[in-house]
Structure formats: structure tokens, C-alpha cells
Amino acid sequence: MKNLDDLLSEGVRGRRVLVRADLNVPLDGDKITDDGRVRASLPTISKLSAAGAQVVVTAHLGRPKGEPDPQFSLAPVAARLGELLHADVSLAGDLVGESAKSTVAGLADGGVALLENVRFDARETSKDDAEREALAADLVALVGDGAAFVSEGFGVVHRKQASVYDVAKKLPAYAGGLVLAEVEVLRTLTGDPKRPYAVVLGGSKVSDKLGVIKALLPKVDKLLIGGGMAYTFLAAQGHGVGSSLLQEDQIDNTKALLAEAADKIVLPVDIVAGDRFAADAEKRTVDADAIPEGWMGLDIGPRSVEQFAEILRGAGTVFWNGPAGVFEFPAFAEGTRGIAQAIVDSEAFSVVGGGDSAAAVRTLGLPEDGFSHISTGGGASLEYLEGKDLPGVQVLEGDA
């Protein structure tokens, strides 16, 4: 696929470049609590700006219902992007309307503008091809037929959406540095990874990761299970899990997985339980088969951390997606911290699969350069590892 370097070698001074970035950051009111995705987009935007392009960025935030919603405005993102670029970033008040047109028309060479949340337009996520193509046509008209498109939002390349897929069919399209790096890393994981290959999966629901578990089991040496999904596995073994998160409809599936790969699947042996879901909950550490009635598992325990860490320290390749517990509560963060630290301490080629795992690395103060790669797209990474096609990548490869 053509990439950013190819575009820069063609020359972009005075040319408009539409960049689809992933700037879907967590907010507390209008304050960004983790700017990792904004910082990840900087190299591509900076290179285009420095080369004299007129950079028009489109992105989404949250899940607005196809219409403008002030709580999902990209205004805080525009402000942070400007701070990091040390330059003014103009925010259009709409996506393809009069404000967007005047904002783009006013861009100087090297200037950067951010269009308002692309998901304020219901056509972005429409299942109707014609509706998505109409929005793509509006975006192309906004930047002009002589423009180029750079796909830099890896977190959305698994979605067939107007600003990800359809625009790439209407403009000369290039993979940004981030998307290119993500695809290369995932190809390493699915190719011939260095052994032993260990995967750590956490998060809340087995159902969300059933497909990737089935796809990975034949390929990995060890699959370590933590987070809320661990309690469905423990229940499948016949253990009581108190009031822990449990997907009863997935117990049969987890029983089948355990029967198929008991030698590969590693479950927690102890649990840090709380008497309620709260940062100040009373806590106690118990064996994994002895969670008290009315209590809930909120983290893996210290013996589990050591068991997982021993496997991870000896691994040649590690993929980690999903925290081991409720790391946002300091009392229940040590399992996630212990797993992350073990990966940092290892000599493995290590990939953090985006989402909450990436947020945990930053929240817990772990060194980002201690990992080989921190993905910006958890869902996209999992779908790639599951063997699914990523429409936003296929279109860049000319296969769509």
C-alpha cells in the first residue's frame, strides 16, 4: 500500500490533505484524561504541516447518535492538538457545512484544521452504501479533487465508514505512519512470532473476545486470562464466583475452550475481592475457588501475578489486551500493574493491544518505551488477530 513517505515524495506544498485520525480520547467533562491517541497522531500531522500541506483532520469522539451533541464536541481535542503542535488548530463548527468550508478555505500552507465530530452526521456510520458515499463526496468537495487522503485512524480501520473507507476510494489514498506501523506489528504476530508466544486477555466479557480466543489458541503457547472474563472461566470449572461479573450464557463455550486447551489456558489462582464495586470497598485476597457469597472479584491476586509474570518473563512474544482488574481503583490495580511490569521486564517482542490496556500503562505510570508497540486500536487489533478483514486496510491495498 502507498504510505505517507510516498505522498511526501510527490510533494504536498499548497495541497490539501484530508487526514482521518483517531482522536477518540476519554473525557471528564471537557478535560482529556488520556491524550495518548492525540499524541500518536502527531508525527503524521507534523510531517504534512512541515512539508507545506494544508492539513484537514477528521475524527470522531464518543458515540453521538448521528446528530450534533455538545458533550461530544472535538473542541478539547483541537485545543490539545494545538498545544502539542505548538500551533493554532482551527476547529470548524460543523463537518461539511459553511463553517467547515470557510475554515478550510482559510488554511495557509502548513496550517492545520480539525472538522467537528464526523459522527455528528448519521451518514458516517450508515449501513447504506449510497448514504456513506454521499458523505464521502461532501468531504472530497470540501478539500477539492486535487487533494490526497491519509488514513491514520487505526482504531477505526475495522469499520466500513465514510471517512475511513469511502473517502479512500475517491481520493489518492495513503497509509499514515501509525496505520502502517500497526499493520506491520500485527503481521508479525500472525506470521512466525518468536516462541514462546504468550497472550494475556482481560477486560469484562468473554463474548467480546470469544472469536479471538478461538483464533489464537492454535497459535499460542500460553493464554493468560484475567479481568472480568476470568470469572466466567472459573464458573465453568464449577467454582462459585460470588457477585463477580459473570456471563452465564458463555459457560458452555468456556467449558469447551478449557476442554480443548487446558494445557494452554492459565487462570488466576487467587483473587482480590471487594464487598462492592467502589474505590473504597473493603477488600480481601482469597483463593480463586473461594470467593465469598456477595463479594465480587475486582483484581487477580499476588500469587496469580507471580504465576503470570513467570510465564511473561520467559516469553519471546507477548500480546496483551485488557486489564487484569479494575485498575482505575488503586486498591485493585496491582494485578494489572504486575502484568505490565513483567512484560516490561521481559525481553519479548511485546504489543499492548490498545484500549484500556494502553490507558492502564499511562495511568499506572509505566514506561511506554518498555513495550515494543502500544496499539491505538484495541478492536481493530483483535479483529485482525481473529482473521477478519479490515475494510480500512483493504481499501488502501486496493482490494476493496
Q: Which residues are annotated as a binding site?
A: 22-24, 37, 60-63, 119, 159, 209, 297, 328, 354-357
Check whether residue 190 and residue 334 sit in a common domain: yes
pLDDT in tens, 340-376: 999 999 999 999 986 788 889 988 999 989 999 998 8
Task: Please say which residue of 144, 177, 210 terminates a domain.
Answer: 177
Q: What's the pLDDT score for residue 353?
A: 86
Residue 86 belongs to some domain of the structure: yes
Average predicted confidence (pLDDT) for the chain: 95
Comparing 142-156, 240-254, 378-392, the range with the smallest average pLDDT is: 378-392
Q: Which residues are annotated as a binding site for (2R)-3-phosphoglycerate?
A: 37, 119, 159
User: Is residue 133 scored above 80 in pLDDT?
Assistant: yes
Q: How many domains does the chain divide into?
A: 2
Global pTM value = 0.87
Domain span including residue 130:
4-177
pLDDT (mean) for 296-312: 98
Check whether residue 65 and residue 105 sit in a common domain: yes
The 10 Å Cβ neighbour count of residue 327 is 25
pLDDT in tens, 216-250: 999 999 999 999 999 999 999 999 999 999 999 99
pLDDT (mean) for 188-194: 92
Q: What's the pLDDT score for residue 400?
A: 63
Check whether residue 18 and residue 140 sit in a common domain: yes
CA distances from 216 to 86, 200, 219, 265, 320 (A): 43, 11, 5, 11, 12
Check whether residue 85 and residue 141 sit in a common domain: yes
Check whether residue 153 and residue 198 sit in a common domain: no
DSSP 175-212: E-HHHHHHHHHHHHHHS-PPSSEEEEE-SS-HHHHHHH
Task: Please say which residue of 158, 177, 196 terminates a domain.
Answer: 177
Check whether residue 148 and residue 288 sit in a common domain: no
pLDDT in tens, 250-286: 999 999 999 999 999 999 999 999 999 999 999 999 9
pLDDT (mean) for 127-143: 98
Report, as residue numbers or ranges, the catalytic residues.
Answer: 37, 205, 355, 379
Residues in CB range of 343: below 8 A, 6 or more apart? 312, 318, 320, 350, 352, 370, 371
Check whether residue 162 and residue 189 sit in a common domain: no
Task: Please say which residue of 147, 177, 207 terminates a domain.
Answer: 177
CA angle 232-246-63, nearest 5°? 115
89: enclosing H helix or E strand: strand 89-91
Check whether residue 137 and residue 29 sit in a common domain: yes
Check whether residue 217 and residue 158 sit in a common domain: no
Q: What's the pLDDT score for residue 157?
A: 95
Alpha helix ranges (H) inside the chain: 4-10, 36-50, 75-85, 98-105, 129-143, 177-190, 206-216, 230-236, 251-260, 302-313, 334-345, 355-363, 378-386, 391-394
Q: What's the pLDDT score for residue 378?
A: 78
CA distances from 302 to 268, 275, 279 (A): 10, 19, 19
Residue 330 belongs to some domain of the structure: yes
Q: Which residues are annotated as a binding site for ATP?
A: 209, 297, 328, 354-357
Check whether residue 198 and residue 173 sit in a common domain: no
Check whether residue 42 and residue 19 sit in a common domain: yes
